[in-house]
Amino acid sequence: MSATTESHTAADPATTPFSLQLSDEQRDVRDWVRGFAEGVVRPAAHEWDEREETPWPIIQEAAKIGLYGYEAMGQFISDPTGLTMPIVSEELFWGDAGIGMAIFGTSLAAAAIFGQGTPEQIGAWIPACYGTADEPAVAAFCVSEPDAGSDVSSLRTRARWDAAAGEWVINGTKAWATNGGIAGVHVVVASIDPELGARGQAAFVVPPGTPGLSQGVKVRKHGLRASHTAEVVLDDVRLPAELVLGGKERLDERLARAREGRSARSQAAMSTFEATRPTVGAQAVGIARAAYEYALDYARTREQFGRPIIENQAIAFMLADMKMEIDAARLLVWRASWMARTGQRFEHAEGSMSKLKAGEVAVWATERAIQILGGNGHAREYPVERWHRDAKIYTIFEGTSEIQRLVIARAISGVHIR
């Protein structure tokens, strides 16, 4: 949710100073989120990972302190430097990625509404995504399908305009939906004109209790197990015209341009992913940092052959590389977040760079942490094995590492590499 959109005034890069020194406000927010991550999230992480259930009590606690909600998200993205959102994400996911995703998974649906919706849709549906402090809700962004993961242009979910009823009719099955089925608001990407591929798609808001929407199979996952992931089945879901994001008139104009071979300007799924990639990268940095700090403390106190293992070059050099790679990943995330907030185009796929680097560093760093702990690193009594499981998805979801490399290669070469 850190990207600039039509309904969000960009900060001027010429008048917005860039500094690697955080402001007092940024440090205060960082410390506040870190306190919640350390005091509330970490003590509960193992339990909810084992239960593989949505941690509603922790979501409610986050809502009560003002960390979860549309007002909080608005505060985080309003920072003119663009850095507050990645800072918050890193700290929360440093606490635990599964619980972090349970808390922040809603932001993907909110980002879609914010980036593509009309002012009226933004005002009505983003608050509905979060519910209230007393009764928090979650939202789901539904794009992937059983046969359409990285290839979002081949979606089979169809949206048909029923002119007689003045309604959209949606049919299909979505896969890998965070909060799918348990969400109040579902944002569903569907194909209207399959011949146009991704240019023929649109995103729809499906309100709570809409007939025809149901949860399919819940996914039992390798990592992020405190975050609910499931299929979403849409069986003759009927929606009024105003629930297509951006409005039907603008959609019709966009489809007309695409049919004439002109630029469609944006694509329903990809524009959301482009906006959120730096934030996803920040989440991965948080996991990597957690593993690094734990391994560093362990190496200082664990003794073998009469001395702390950090005195061995093999261990010390591994930790040095971990610190270097994590800091490099964070800087790529911050650069992309700053560029997005100040309205600069990702001409060289800087958003993809940040997510790719951070995701691969998280997997690499957590594996090194396991190696430093030895047998203890492989045991579930120690958190590094959970961090390793949680890290792996960051090379897969919201664009696999291979897709990110493809995006970067196309951007730097100007060639449509396949």
Given a cut of 60, whether residue 197 has pLDDT beyond it is yes
Q: What does the DSSP assignment read for 137-173?
A: --EEEE--BTTBSS-GGG---EEEEETTTTEEEEEEE
pLDDT for res 258:
87
pLDDT for res 136:
97
Which comes out higher in pLDDT, residue 90 or 115? 90
Given a cut of 90, whether residue 223 has pLDDT beyond it is yes
CA distances 393 to 89, 210, 281, 330, Å, are: 16, 31, 12, 18
The string of pLDDT tens digits covering residues 307-350 is: 999 999 999 999 999 999 999 999 999 999 999 999 899 999 99
Residue in 53, 249, 398, 402 annotated catalytic: 398
Task: Tell me what the mean pLDDT of segment 398-411 comes to.
Answer: 94
Q: Measure the CA–CA gap between 387 and 45, rounded to whole angstroms.
A: 11
pLDDT for res 6:
40
The string of pLDDT tens digits covering residues 229-239 is: 999 999 999 99
DSSP state of 374: G
Task: State the residue for tokens 């819940």.
Answer: 218
Q: Measure the CA–CA gap between 46 and 58, rounded to whole angstroms.
A: 13
Structural domains in the chain plus CATH codes: 24-130 (1.10.540.10), 139-259 (2.40.110.10), 268-413 (1.20.140.10)
The string of pLDDT tens digits covering residues 350-371 is: 999 999 999 999 999 999 999 9
Given a cut of 70, whether residue 56 has pLDDT beyond it is yes
Query: 113 and 205 in contact (C-beta within 8 Å)?
Result: yes
> H helices within 65-207, ranges in order?
70-78, 84-95, 97-104, 106-116, 119-130
Assessment of whether the complete model's pTM goes beyond 0.85: yes
Q: What's the mean pLDDT when you consider all of the chain?
A: 92
Cα dihedral: 137, 139, 145, 148 (round 10): -150
pLDDT for res 262:
72
pLDDT for res 276:
81
What proportion of the chain, given as a percentage, has pLDDT over 90? 84
The string of pLDDT tens digits covering residues 134-188 is: 999 999 999 999 887 666 777 999 999 999 999 999 999 999 999 999 999 999 9
Catalytic, 167? Answer: no
Tokens of 212: 């025809």
Q: What are the residues whose beta carbons fall under 8 Å from the beta carbon of 342, sequence distance 6 or more?
A: 4, 10, 11, 12, 13, 16, 80, 82
The string of pLDDT tens digits covering residues 245-295 is: 999 999 999 999 888 887 655 555 555 566 689 999 999 999 999 999 999
Q: Measure the CA–CA gap between 47 and 57, rounded to whole angstroms.
A: 13
For the ranges 125-139, 199-213, 266-280, 366-380, the lowest mean pLDDT is seen at 266-280
